Amino acid sequence: MSATIIDGKSFAEGLRGRIATAVEAMKANGVHPGLAVVLVGNDPASEVYVGSKARQTVEVGMRSFEHRLPADVSQQELEALVARLNADPEVDGILVQLPLPAGLDAEPVIAAIHPDKDVDGLTHANAGRLANGAVGLVPCTPLGSMMLIRSVLPDLSGKEAVVVGRSNLVGKPIAQLLLAANATVTVAHSRTRDLPEVCRRADVLVAAVGRPEMIRGDYIKPGAVVIDVGINRIPAPERGEGKTRLVGDVAFQEAKEIAGAITPVPGGVGPMTIACLLANTLTAASLRRGLTPPT
The annotated binding site for NADP(+) is made up of 165-167, 231
- Only one of the segments 41-49, 83-91, 101-109, 223-231 lies at the binding site for ligand NDP (rule: CB under 6 A); that segment is 223-231
Nearest of 225, 96, 215, 60 to residue 148 by alpha carbon:
225
Please count the other Cβ atoms lying within 10 Å of the Cβ belonging to residue 156: 23
- Round to whole Å and give the CA distance between 234 and 94: 32
Task: Pick the catalytic residue from 120, 203, 228, 249.
Answer: 120
- Contact call for residue 97 and ligand NDP (CB under 6 A): no
Interface size with ligand NDP, residues (CB under 6 A): 25
Q: Which of 93, 115, 121, 165 binds ligand NDP (CB under 6 A)?
A: 165
- Contact call for residue 166 and ligand NDP (CB under 6 A): yes
- Round to whole Å and give the CA distance between 261 and 226: 6
- Upstream peptide bond of 266 is cis (omega within 30 degrees of 0): yes
Q: Which of 148, 174, 229, 279 binds ligand NDP (CB under 6 A)?
A: 229
Binding mask 230-269 for ligand NDP (x = CB under 6 A): xxx------------------------------------x
- Contact call for residue 277 and ligand NDP (CB under 6 A): no
Identify the helix (H) or strand (E) that includes residue 178: helix 171-180
Residue 68: C-alpha distances to residues 86, 108, 109, 117, 142 (Å) = 17, 19, 15, 19, 27
- Contact call for residue 15 and ligand NDP (CB under 6 A): no
- Contact call for residue 5 and ligand NDP (CB under 6 A): no
- Contact call for residue 273 and ligand NDP (CB under 6 A): yes
Catalytic status, residue 120: yes
- Round to whole Å and give the CA distance between 273 and 266: 12
According to DSSP, residue 228 is labeled E
- Round to whole Å and give the CA distance between 226 and 3: 10
Catalytic status, residue 53: yes
Catalytic status, residue 218: no
Binding-site residues sit at 165-167, 231
Active site residues: 53, 97, 120
Binding site for ligand NDP (CB under 6 A): 141, 164-167, 169-171, 188-192, 195, 208-211, 229-232, 269-270, 273
